[in-house]
Every structure is written in structure tokens, then in C-alpha cells.
Amino acid sequence: MDLTVVRGDITQQQVDAVVNAANRGMRGGGGVDGAIHRAGGPTVLDDCIARFPNGLATGDAGWTTAGQMSARWVIHVVGPNYAAGQRDRALLTSCYARALALADELGASSLAFPLVSAGIYGWPVADAAAAAVVTLRATGTNVDQVRMVAFGDAAYDALTRAMF
């Protein structure tokens, strides 16, 4: 698997699946989640409601259509909310491993990930980056290309450091 770090807007990535840092309710939100729902349009939310009537557990992953985005799918992961006391790193790493497993089930060969839980959920950025890179490198997958998409400088710098 080719793992790269890029700066940019995750909704604009030319990949098979975009990974969304969702909340447990699976009804849209702020940050990456809001951006993906805005870019994908109402069909993403409609699919979330149909597929996840009771939401999704922290650390788990599920997929929906990508709606109007160029990606085919959105793989939604629910990261732990560090600011609310959810500090089990296994829940964070599970997001990356489950997303890869789901991508394999879907037949996706390219993915774009955000830095899960490092925004409003408050996970320390350097540790979130290290958890992402180590987990993605250690998880067996048929995915050929994984792109870590950093929206800001702090995420980009942390991911770049974690790569080496």
C-alpha cells in the first residue's frame, strides 16, 4: 500500500472512497463530517438514516453513497471523543483498521482519510497522527493507495513527522 500525506480538502480527493470522521448519531455535524455532507448533498444523509437508524458505535465503520462527490463511497468512522473522556487509543486505531476492512469488502483501491478525532474531539494531534500511520501501515489490506488529507498546518506537520 502506498501511504501519502497531502494538504487539502478531503471532499475534493479523486479516490474510490472518502473516510468521514462522523459522530455516533450519523446525522451530519461539523468539521470533516459537515464538509462531507455538504459536498455529497442530501443523499449522503438519506443513506445514513436508512443504513444506520440507531447510529454507529465508537471505533466502528460503515459506508454510504458519496452523493455528488467524485468518490463512489463514504466510509464513516466514529472516533473517540477525547475531550469528553473517551481516551482508549484502541477505539481510535479501530477506526483506521475497520475502514480498511470495509474498503476491502467494497473493492475500493484508493482511500482518503482525515486525521480522526484530532479536531473538535480533541485528541492530541501528534498522537492521533502516530496512531493513524502505525495502524495503516500494520493493517493488511488490498487497498493500493491511502492518502492522509490534512486540512491545516498542525495536522500536516504531525502526519509528516509520523511518516518517518
Residues designated catalytic: 33
Determine contact, residues 112/143, Cβ cutoff 8 Å.
no
Other C-beta atoms within 10 Å of 53: how many? Answer: 8
Cite the beta strand spans of the chain per DSSP E: 2-7, 17-22, 61-65, 73-78, 110-113, 145-150
| Cell output for 106 | 467494497
Cα 163 to Cα 125: distance, rounded to the nearest angstrom: 14
